[in-house]
Amino acid sequence: QADLQAGTTTCKTLVQHYIAQIQAKQNLNVFLEVFADEALQKAEALDAKLANGETLGRLFGLVIGIKDVICYKGHKITAASKILAGFESLFSATAVERIVTEDAIIIGRINCDEFAMGSTNENSAYGNVLNAYDTTKVPGGSSGGSAVAVQAGLCHAALGSDTGGSVRQPASFCNVIGVKPTYGRISRHGLIAYASSFDQIGTLTNSMEDAALLLEIMAGNDAFDSTCSSKEVPSYSSQLQVENKTKKRKVAVFKEALHHPGLDAEIAEQLQQLLAKLQAQGHEVTTVDFPYLKHLVPTYYILTTAEASSNLARYDGIHFGYRNAEAKNMEHTYKLSRTEGFGKEVKRRIMLGTFVLSAGYYDAYYGKAQKARRLISNTTESIFKNYDFILSPTTPTTAFAIGDKAYQDPIAMYLADIFTVQANLAGVPAVSLPLFKHSNGMPFGCQLMANKFAEEDLLCFAADLMNDK
């Protein structure tokens, strides 16, 4: 913005630069659609606005991509699925309306795992997204396309969605900042549902300042979403300008996480070094017991697949999107359209969700998982009565090779979410910070969780860690 105000660049120049970058890096398969003409028109209008001395929006000049599960009126949205082929959104998500009002420029819609189901971005009907650091590796998921868009310099920032780590895990794999706010902090109106009690729109950025400003603008009450909080939205961006280093924090670390058998030894070692550094700076770092770590992933997958089986029932080949042309009757239309329209992972989760909700299994699985969620949520809440933050690795490993887990061992892929799903189960905010690099050349992140609606503290402490990097 300073460069725009000084006249050393223009919005049009920025958009032209990003369009050229997207074309040059098409092999990464990040964008499903680029709104090139529209973005250039918006850029020219913003340049004229500046020249005329008009009041500028707080996101003036920000070029942003949106994940293909977030609605933008008059534009296609597919959730990276064949079943929504050709569908055009009739309205914009509240989050999109708010950033557009503040003069952001939306440059395109971004590839992702189909219906946001996956941790590798290998489940898209439109092909894999590749990690720009190493194109043989996955970028993470389901917001892997959004992470690579920022990582590879294809836009300033990107919006993603986070159901169990879908913003933070790709942020870790791609060396960018990923923020998942408190459940209900940002309206879900216009976000295609995967699991409604878990989903939350999040941001992928290169700076904490951009993340704080985007959150500040998108957050807040919305009449279109009954689960959206009416709590006042603090000025997150201005708080980042305040010097916070003198404030000493209380940080909890799970003993079970540090010594988890699936945790890469080098990730554990670098995390220990960070903890020692925090202690040396005067912060209180305490190892605490969290007996439910092994229950997080099973609880998460039972509940999210149950919600998915309900949410995805509407995609039936009748109302909109893909329909099998050979079907002879209504039942045949349902069967063939859903069989051909959904990908393998989505069908797996629908079937699992339908099973755990079925008569005879509901109490054994779904009912029990709801009780486990309550225990996890209560325990998390009690930890935050004594500590400001919970610190952990974002992921147990660095980015793995394409085809390693999604095709060979889906359970191993699900376990990659072991450190991220707690924030969604408990509804608390979390951020992944790009603080580390592995000897294998790949980046990995550190995750911070805070109490519900404590984003202000979380972002400030995260900014301090980034500045100390």
Q: How far apart are CA 54 and CA 46, in angstroms?
A: 10
Which value, to the nearest 10 degrees, does the dihedral of the CA atoms of residues 325, 327, 331, 335 take?
A: -70
Using alpha carbons, select from 156, 150, 167 the residue that is nearest to residue 213.
156
Active-site residue identified among 89, 161, 166, 187? 166
Our answer to whether residue 166 is catalytic in this structure is yes
- For β-strands 284-288 and 250-254, DSSP reports them as parallel
Which strand (E) or helix (H) includes residue 34?
A: strand 31-34
**DSSP H helical segments within 384-451, as ranges?**
410-415, 421-426
Q: Who contacts 312 (Cβ-Cβ below 8 Å, separation ≥6)?
A: 115, 342, 346, 350
Our answer to whether residue 142 is catalytic in this structure is yes
Tokens of 372: 């486990």
Which value, to the nearest 10 degrees, does the dihedral of the CA atoms of residues 193, 102, 144, 263 take?
A: -90
Q: How far apart are CA 191 and CA 79, in angstroms?
A: 10
Q: Who contacts 350 (Cβ-Cβ below 8 Å, separation ≥6)?
A: 305, 308, 309, 312, 342
Active-site residue identified among 124, 142, 146, 337? 142
Active-site residue identified among 67, 137, 405, 452? 67
Residue type present at position 326: E
Tokens of 5: 């105000």
Q: How far apart are CA 148 and CA 30, in angstroms?
A: 7
- For β-strands 157-161 and 201-205, DSSP reports them as antiparallel
CB-based burial label for 280 (10 Å; 0-12, 13-18, 19+): exposed
Based on its alpha-carbon atoms, the radius of gyration of the chain, rounded to whole angstroms, reads 21
Q: Catalogue the active-site residues.
A: 67, 142, 166
